[in-house]
């Protein structure tokens, strides 16, 4: 593990954590248009990087019907995640978006069990049960499921599941995902412009600039994360991933002044407890496996 790797990955999660401030700054644009701009400008940015690095031929050669179908599924899930997130941030639900990314690791584990038939260690079931209890408690207390949090957690969890079998690297994968969404997104923006409801160039120069920069803002943390993940352990990534929802939660409460009722506070406490137990169990298991591997590596002295 290197300090540079921690810096890269930590910076990526920090940027994701401050996303609410960025998207709140362009809330005068409709959520659908923000997401469409994010797709279009992201494709132009990462496509430009592919051209600059002269990797277009390698990308084309990697395209097979199976690869395209995998990334089509990934792009749809990514679009759903982006749309729910942007709408929620600009509608005053930043705290609930943070809840979604807090429970995302547990949802990913659950999806692994249900879809990939992965087996959990006995103690790993406790955090899953606690998370389900928290969601049930909040549903009964609030009179509605925390659907924003659940939509974000499951869309990103399923996205991660699809990416588990995806054959391309981070840059090529994001390029293909945004390429598959590019024409529908561009067509939607042109339709909005033609109908007189387009935001780009019609609200303020700052909003237009921030809309154009959504591509850079989207790609940079992904590239930082990809670079950092190669240099640090999976355990470190697991701990760093809580930076983003923590920053989002703090921004929602202390910057945007979103109210915290008793049910929400109790729900968060249960989720945090589940995550702490999940992390401790994972660290203990990895340490135990490491110690065991060291013991097995020690040569046995020959009998005299």
Q: Are 209 and 22 in contact (CB under 8 A)?
A: no
Per the domain annotation, does 301 fall within a domain? no
Per the domain annotation, does 272 fall within a domain? yes
Q: Within 10 A of 29 (CB to CB), how many other CB atoms are there?
A: 24
Position 102 scores a pLDDT of 86
Average pLDDT over residues 79-94: 94
Cα 220 from Cα 233, distance rounded (Å): 21
Per the domain annotation, does 259 fall within a domain? yes
Cα 268 from Cα 262, distance rounded (Å): 10
* Length of the chain (residues): 304
pLDDT tens per residue across span 203-236: 888 999 999 999 999 889 888 887 776 677 656 6
Q: Are 285 and 121 in contact (CB under 8 A)?
A: yes
pTM: 0.85
Per the domain annotation, does 300 fall within a domain? no
The angle formed by the CA atoms of residues 93, 98 and 252, to the nearest 5 degrees, is 50
Average pLDDT over residues 234-240: 66
Per the domain annotation, does 236 fall within a domain? yes
Per DSSP, 116 falls in state S
Per DSSP, 242 falls in state T
Per the domain annotation, does 105 fall within a domain? yes
Q: Are 13 and 243 in contact (CB under 8 A)?
A: yes
Q: How far is CA 271 from the centre of its chain?
A: 18
pLDDT tens per residue across span 146-200: 899 999 999 988 988 888 888 888 889 889 999 999 999 999 999 999 998 888 8
User: Which tops the pLDDT comparison, 298 or 281?
Assistant: 281
Question: φ and ψ at 119, to 5 degrees?
Answer: -105, 135
Per the domain annotation, does 302 fall within a domain? no
The enclosing H or E element of 103 equals helix 94-114
Per the domain annotation, does 249 fall within a domain? yes
Domain count for the chain, please give it: 1
Q: Within 10 A of 249 (CB to CB), how many other CB atoms are there?
A: 23
Average pLDDT over residues 240-267: 88
67: pLDDT strictly greater than 50: yes
Domain extent at residue 100: 3-287
Share of the chain above pLDDT 70, in %: 92
């Amino acid at each position: 593990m290197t300090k540079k790797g921690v810096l890269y990955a930590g910076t990526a999660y920090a940027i994701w954590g401050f996303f609410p401030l960025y998207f709140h700054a362009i809330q005068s644009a409709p959520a659908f248009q923000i997401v469409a701009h994010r797709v279009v400008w992201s494709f132009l940015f990462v496509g430009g990087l592919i051209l600059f690095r002269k990797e277009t031929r390698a990308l084309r050669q990697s395209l097979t019907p199976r690869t395209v179908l995998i990334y089509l599924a990934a792009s749809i899930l990514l679009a759903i995640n982006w749309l729910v997130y942007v709408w929620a941030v600009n509608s005053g639900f930043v705290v609930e978006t943070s809840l979604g990314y807090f429970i995302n690791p547990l949802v990913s584990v659950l999806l692994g069990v249900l879809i990939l038939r992965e087996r959990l260690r006995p103690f790993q079931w406790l955090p899953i049960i606690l998370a389900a209890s928290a969601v049930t408690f909040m549903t009964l207390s609030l009179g509605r499921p925390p659907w924003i949090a659940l939509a974000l957690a499951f869309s990103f969890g399923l996205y991660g599941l699809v990416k588990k079998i995806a054959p391309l690297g981070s840059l090529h994968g994001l390029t293909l995902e945004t390429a598959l969404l590019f024409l529908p997104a561009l067509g939607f923006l042109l339709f909005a412009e033609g109908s007189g409801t387009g935001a780009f160039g019609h609200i303020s120069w700052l909003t237009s600039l921030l809309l154009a920069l959504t591509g850079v803002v989207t790609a940079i943390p992904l590239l930082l994360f990809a670079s950092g993940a190669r240099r640090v352990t999976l355990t470190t990534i697991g701990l760093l991933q809580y930076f983003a929802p923590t920053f989002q939660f703090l921004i929602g409460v202390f910057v945007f002044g979103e109210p915290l009722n008793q049910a929400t506070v109790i729900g968060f406490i249960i989720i945090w407890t589940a995550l702490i137990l999940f992390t401790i169990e994972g660290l203990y298991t990895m340490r135990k496996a490491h110690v065991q591997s060291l013991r097995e590596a020690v040569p046995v002295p020959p009998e005299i």
